[in-house]
């Protein structure tokens, strides 16, 4: 089942993501949470989640292409 991730993670619902964002703010460094756009793409693709993952956590080759495109947009001038 796909979860409903948001761009601004709720600290109670997603403590890991929220803590990473907080740490980045404290350290004054960039933060790019790919979780929300990743899940948004998967939900809208019409394909099963495991079409993009090699295991519970990691992306397969197709999923890595999506993550690469997200990073390309994030780092674009």
Q: pLDDT tens for residues 32-57? A: 888 888 888 888 999 998 999 999 88
Enumerate the H helices of 1-77 as residue ranges: 15-26, 35-45, 61-75
Separation between Cα atoms, residue 51 and residue 43, nearest integer Å: 12
pLDDT-derived band at 10 (thresholds 50, 70, 90) equals confident
Question: What is the reported pLDDT for 39?
Answer: 85
Domain extent listing, the chain: 31-75
Nearest 5°: phi and psi at 20? -65, -40
The pair of structure tokens assigned to 23 is 């740490």
Question: What is the reported pLDDT for 7?
Answer: 63
Question: What is the reported pLDDT for 3?
Answer: 53
Tell me the sheet residues that pair with 53: 59
pTM score > 0.95 for this model? no
Separation between Cα atoms, residue 60 and residue 63, nearest integer Å: 5
pLDDT at 6 over 50: yes
Instruction: Determine contact, residues 7/33, Cβ cutoff 8 Å.
Output: yes
């Amino acid at each position: 089942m796909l979860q409903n991730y948001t761009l601004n993670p709720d600290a109670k619902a997603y403590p890991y993501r929220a803590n990473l964002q907080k740490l980045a703010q404290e350290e004054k460094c960039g933060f790019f949470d790919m979780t929300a756009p990743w899940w948004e793409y998967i939900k809208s693709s019409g394909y099963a989640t495991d079409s993009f993952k090699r295991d519970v956590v990691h992306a397969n080759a197709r999923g890595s292409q999506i993550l690469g495109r997200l990073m390309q947009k994030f780092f674009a001038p």
